[in-house]
Amino acid sequence: MAALTALHTYRQLLREVNRQFTKTNDIFAKQLKTIYRDNQGVTDPSKVEALNRNAENVLTYLRSSRQHKELRDMYSAIVLEQKKRIELSAKRVGLEMPKQYSPEEASTDRVMKAFQK
């Protein structure tokens, strides 16, 4: 069973490396393959478990860093203007932003209402 989880983790690591490091993925993929080949003959159960745990930790770190980058790009203050960021934050918790008072719009509204009567 440990071999199956190691193989599953190895495949996920390769996918994550290919997803994140498109230009330099060849280097990281080769290093990953070398590490797995070097440790292929390890038979001590405690060492195998430690290696699998380390591989899973690396996988978790790679996924988390990718997701963090995606979220940062999506909600960055540099990308979004302040008003849009506040609107998105309000919508996230189920609220809508009130209309802001504008003297020009208020006077236009009063004039339009006066003519509609």
| Cα distance between residue 92 and residue 54, in whole Å | 36
Which stretches of the chain score pLDDT less than 70?
Answer: 1-4, 23-25, 77-80, 101, 104-114, 116-117
Q: What is the pLDDT of residue 82?
A: 74
Q: What is the pLDDT of residue 1?
A: 46
Q: What is the pLDDT of residue 28?
A: 82
Per DSSP, 16 falls in state H
Q: What is the pLDDT of residue 54?
A: 92
Could you tell me if 48 and 2 are in contact, meaning their C-beta atoms sit under 8 angstroms apart?
yes
Q: What is the pLDDT of residue 64?
A: 94
